[in-house]
């Protein structure tokens, strides 16, 4: 089950906010630079153009006035030399006037300036003949020149000066207008800068507030992730222990009882191995929801491991109230689940510890509930177990055994003992069953009942099974080489080994490494393994049969397979469980079961082996029923490999014929 990360949207939004803010700042800077550039250009125009116009206008006014003065002085002076000098000044002033007028004309002009300049040109054109006549008359007819000066030249010159005065006024007005426009452009630039800077500041504040909010939210989410299980959303061990301590503190003051439950889903690893981890996660989530709905709001449910939950029942008045809740939980967990369009059944084992009797703090209560849960699972699953102080010694012993198991394989402490299967008709041992033993360095030879469950729970059964399957095949190949070429070896396979994806390839590899012909290897499976997933079991057995090996059902009759299912499996042998053999000479129903199984084997063309034969009476009863192959203490107990040769060479016909 994949969880969506809620922080990703916030991160994208914050990044977008920062990018927008940066772009806005760049935009404000660009606008400001442009507006300031426009203002600078306007001021430059005012300083360079309009001020130049004013200077040129003043130069024209000055030149025009000087020319008028020159004319007046020429009309007054009788000295010809002075008159010539005045004529030269008159011409010089005219040149200055024309130069200033030409420069003025080359500048950018408004319509009004251009009109005044044209009017001035027309007046100068009209005044020039009069001015030349005054210059000519001043030398010969002084009085006539004066009259012409006063009556025509001066009025005409006054008109020119008036036009120049108007031009100067217009130029000054345009200069003031340009200055005002530059000021307005500067104000606009300032307003843009203030406005956009304000927007950038507001956006920055918004982004900062969003960042603060995001940080607070991220902090809450980190705290939630640190205190809750990511798959189910339940409190994790840390939060559970904290809540339990708080509840214990209140219970001490109020003198109340608290029940701590350690819950383990039975055979959950099988669900993961057969249906996949995704369906396993779905099952865990459904179990978590059922547990949460089964208790009150003040009770806390926590997931502390893959298929393990811990919960406490707070403020209980008596033990009965806690046990009612435990029984309710067992019932609701056992209800069918619908996952991936398949109906799945699951059960749980529960250990219960009670405050104050089983511990005074959270650590002891959880540890003792865990210990009780292990005993519930060991005693049959789908049940609960109250904690007892004697369990701790057993738990410590189990922990030490787990530690020793971890190193047992690499130290070579696991071995096979072999028990013969005798063919009563021929007196020949046709096969030996390899039975696992543990040569513990301190505790001696241990039977599978003491450690096989631990091997399966820890998963180390896979490594042990692969190693010992190769050893058994090699041992059988050695017996073949010594002259017993028709001897088969039977090896038991656990459910965890059978359902592992590498099982078939592991069997093939064992045959290749040992050189044992495949028809002399038999794998023994229990009925329960088949029934976990019938379709896949049929396919896997067919894959094994393609290798050429034999497949037998061990302990037949004690499981829950039906004949309808049995006929689908390509089997070779049924092994009759010792339960039916044990009282066969006394219990008629046992004899009826054995007779039925033998008839079934005959009808399906299967071999049969009766296990647990301990005395002659059982042997004779089975012989009369038609059982041909037997296995048990009467023939031989399981023995180490070196002792098998003596059993193979024994005259069994003489002993049981």
What is the pLDDT averaged over residues 603-616? 91
Of 246-250, 274-278, 311-315, least confident by mean pLDDT is 274-278
Q: Ranked by mean pLDDT, which of 77-91, 368-382, 394-408, 468-482 comes out on top? A: 468-482
Of 26-30, 180-184, 287-291, 546-550, least confident by mean pLDDT is 26-30
> Does the pLDDT at position 528 exceed 90?
no
The confidence score (pLDDT) of residue 2 equals: 41
Ramachandran area for residue 79 (φ above 0: left; ψ -120 to 50: alpha; else beta)? beta
What is the pLDDT averaged over residues 504-524? 96
What is the pLDDT averaged over residues 494-503? 91
As a whole number of angstroms, the distance between CA 236 and CA 228 comes to 5
> Does the pLDDT at position 243 exceed 50?
yes
- Mean pLDDT over the full length of the chain: 82
Query: How far apart, in Å, do the first and last CA atoms of the chain sit?
Result: 65
Of 186-195, 264-273, 416-425, 440-449, least confident by mean pLDDT is 186-195
- The CATH number, out of the four listed (1.20.120.1730, 3.90.1150.10, 1.10.3720.10, 3.90.199.10), of the domain defined by the range 7-211: 1.20.120.1730
The confidence score (pLDDT) of residue 1 equals: 39
Vertex 206, ends 204 and 208: CA angle to 5°? 65
Decide: 584 and 615 in contact? Cβ < 8 Å: no
* Higher-scoring residue by pLDDT: 94, 514: 514
The CATH code belonging to domain 237-389 is: 3.30.70.270
Domain-by-domain residue ranges, the chain?
A: 7-211, 237-389, 417-656
Pairing type for strands 444-446 and 428-440 reads antiparallel
- Among 583, 604, 421, 605, which residue's Cα sits nearest to residue 594? 583
Tell me the per-residue pLDDT of 435-445, one tens digit each, with 9 for 90 and over: 999 999 888 99
As a whole number of angstroms, the distance between CA 587 and CA 268 comes to 39
Class for the domain spanning 417-656: alpha beta
Please, which residues bridge with residue 348 across strands?
A: 265
The confidence score (pLDDT) of residue 3 equals: 42
| Long-range contact set of residues 296-304: C-beta below 8 Å, sequence gap at least 24 | 300/235, 300/240, 300/243, 300/244, 300/247, 301/234, 301/235, 302/229, 302/234, 302/235, 302/236, 302/237, 302/239, 302/240, 303/229, 303/231, 303/232, 303/234, 303/236, 304/236, 304/237, 304/240
Q: What is the pTM of this model?
A: 0.52
Using 50, 70 and 90 to split pLDDT, how confident is the model at 331? very high
What is the pLDDT averaged over residues 84-102? 77
Using 50, 70 and 90 to split pLDDT, how confident is the model at 586? confident
Residue 72, SS3 per DSSP: helix
Using 50, 70 and 90 to split pLDDT, how confident is the model at 280? confident
Residue 649, SS3 per DSSP: coil
The secondary element (H helix, E strand) that includes residue 280 is: helix 277-294
> Does the pLDDT at position 643 exceed 70?
yes
Tell me the per-residue pLDDT of 450-460, one tens digit each, with 9 for 90 and over: 888 888 878 88
The confidence score (pLDDT) of residue 4 equals: 45
Q: Which two tokens stand for residue 260?
A: 């701590």
> Does the pLDDT at position 655 exceed 70?
yes
CA distances for 411 relative to 405, 406, 450, 466, 469, angstroms: 10, 10, 18, 15, 17
* Higher-scoring residue by pLDDT: 68, 505: 505
As a whole number of angstroms, the distance between CA 136 and CA 143 comes to 12
The confidence score (pLDDT) of residue 210 equals: 73
* Higher-scoring residue by pLDDT: 447, 75: 447
CA 585 to chain centre: 65
Decide: 354 and 259 in contact? Cβ < 8 Å: yes
As a whole number of angstroms, the distance between CA 198 and CA 28 comes to 10
Q: Which residue has the tokens 């089997």?
A: 571
> Does the pLDDT at position 335 exceed 70?
yes
Q: Ranked by mean pLDDT, which of 212-226, 266-280, 294-308, 499-513 comes out on top? A: 499-513
Q: Which two tokens stand for residue 268?
A: 């959950």
Residue 359, SS3 per DSSP: coil
The confidence score (pLDDT) of residue 121 equals: 73
Percent of the chain with pLDDT over 90: 33
Using 50, 70 and 90 to split pLDDT, how confident is the model at 628? very high
């Amino acid at each position: 089950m994949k969880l969506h990360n809620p922080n990703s949207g916030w991160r994208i939004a914050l990044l977008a906010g920062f990018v927008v803010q940066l772009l806005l700042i760049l935009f404000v800077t660009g606008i400001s630079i442009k507006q300031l550039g426009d203002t600078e250009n306007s001021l430059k125009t005012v300083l360079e153009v309009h001020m130049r116009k004013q200077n040129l206008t003043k130069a024209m006014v000055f030149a025009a006035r000087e020319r008028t003065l020159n004319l007046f002085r020429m009309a007054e002076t009788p000295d010809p030399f002075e008159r010539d000098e005045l004529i030269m000044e008159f011409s010089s002033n005219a040149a200055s006037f024309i130069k200033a007028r030409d420069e003025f004309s080359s500048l950018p002009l408004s319509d009004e300036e251009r009109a005044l300049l044209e009017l001035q040109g027309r007046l100068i054109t009209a005044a020039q003949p009069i001015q030349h006549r005054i210059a000519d008359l001043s030398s010969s007819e002084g009085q006539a020149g004066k009259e012409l000066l006063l009556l025509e030249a001066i009025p005409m010159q006054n008109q020119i000066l008036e036009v120049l005065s108007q031009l100067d006024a217009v130029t000054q007005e345009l200069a003031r207008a340009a200055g005002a426009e530059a000021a307005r452009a500067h104000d606009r630039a300032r307003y843009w800068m203030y406005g956009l800077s304000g927007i950038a500041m507001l956006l920055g504040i918004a982004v900062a507030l969003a960042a603060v909010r995001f940080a607070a939210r991220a902090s809450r989410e980190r705290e939630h992730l640190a205190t809750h299980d990511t798959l189910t959303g339940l409190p994790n061990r840390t939060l559970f222990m904290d809540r339990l301590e708080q509840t214990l503190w209140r219970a001490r003051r109020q003198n109340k009882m608290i029940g701590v439950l350690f819950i383990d889903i039975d055979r959950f690893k099988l669900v993961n191995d057969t249906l996949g981890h995704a369906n396993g996660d779905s099952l865990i989530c459904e179990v978590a929801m059922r547990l949460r709905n089964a208790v009150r709001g003040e009770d806390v449910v926590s997931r502390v491991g893959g298929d393990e939950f811990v919960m406490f029942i707070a403020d209980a008045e008596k033990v009965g109230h806690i046990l009612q809740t435990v029984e309710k939980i067992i019932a609701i967990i056992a209800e069918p689940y619908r996952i991936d369009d398949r109906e799945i059944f699951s059960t749980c084992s529960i250990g219960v510890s009670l405050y104050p009797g089983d511990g005074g703090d959270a650590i002891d209560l959880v540890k003792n509930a865990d210990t009780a849960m292990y005993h519930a699972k060991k005693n049959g699953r789908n049940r609960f177990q109250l904690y007892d102080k004697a369990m701790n010694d057993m738990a410590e012993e189990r922990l030490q055994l787990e530690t020793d198991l971890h190193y047992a394989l690499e130290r070579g402490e696991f071995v096979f003992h072999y028990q013969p299967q005798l063919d009563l008709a021929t007196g020949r041992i046709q096969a030996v069953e390899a039975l696992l033993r543990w040569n513990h360095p301190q505790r001696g030879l241990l039977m599978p009942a003491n450690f096989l469950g631990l091997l399966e729970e820890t998963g180390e059964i896979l490594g042990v099974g692969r190693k010992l399957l190769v050893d058994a095949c090699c041992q059988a190949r050695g017996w073949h080489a010594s002259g017993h070429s028709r001897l088969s070896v039977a090896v038991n396979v656990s459910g965890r080994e059978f359902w592992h994806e590498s099982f078939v390839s592991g069997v093939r590899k064992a045959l290749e490494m040992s050189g044992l012909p495949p028809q002399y290897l038999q794998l023994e499976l229990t009925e329960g393994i088949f029934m976990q997933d019938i379709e896949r079991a049929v396919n896997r057995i067919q894959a094994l049969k393609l290798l050429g090996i034999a497949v037998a059902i061990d302990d037949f009759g004690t499981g829950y397979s039906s004949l309808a299912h049995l006929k689908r499996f390509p089997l070779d042998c049924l092994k009759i469980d010792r339960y039916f053999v044990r009282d066969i000479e006394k219990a008629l129903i046992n004899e009826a079961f054995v007779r039925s199984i033998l008839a079934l084997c005959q009808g399906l063309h299967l071999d049969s082996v009766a296990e647990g034969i301990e005395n002659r009476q059982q042997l004779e009863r089975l012989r009369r029923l038609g059982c041909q192959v037997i296995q048990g203490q009467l023939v031989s107990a399981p023995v180490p490999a070196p002792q098998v040769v003596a059993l193979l060479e024994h005259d069994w016909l003489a002993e049981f014929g």
